[in-house]
Amino acid sequence: MDPMLPVQKGDITGIESLPQASLQELLGALHRVTDLLEAQRRDEEALSKAFQEHVERWKSDTMHWSSVTRMIAHPSYLRVIGLARRGCPGDIERLLLRELQAEPDHWFAALSAIAGEDPVTEDQNFDEAVEAWLEWGRRKGYLQ
Give tens-digit pLDDT for 26-46.
778 877 888 787 777 778 899
| pLDDT for residue 14 is more than 90 | no
CB 90 within 8 A of CB 142: yes
CB 17 within 8 A of CB 5: no
pLDDT value for 13: 64
19-23, 43-47, 101-105 — which is least confidently predicted? 19-23
Domain residue spans of the chain: 18-140
Contacts of 97 (CB under 8 A, 6+ apart): 111, 133, 134, 137, 142, 143
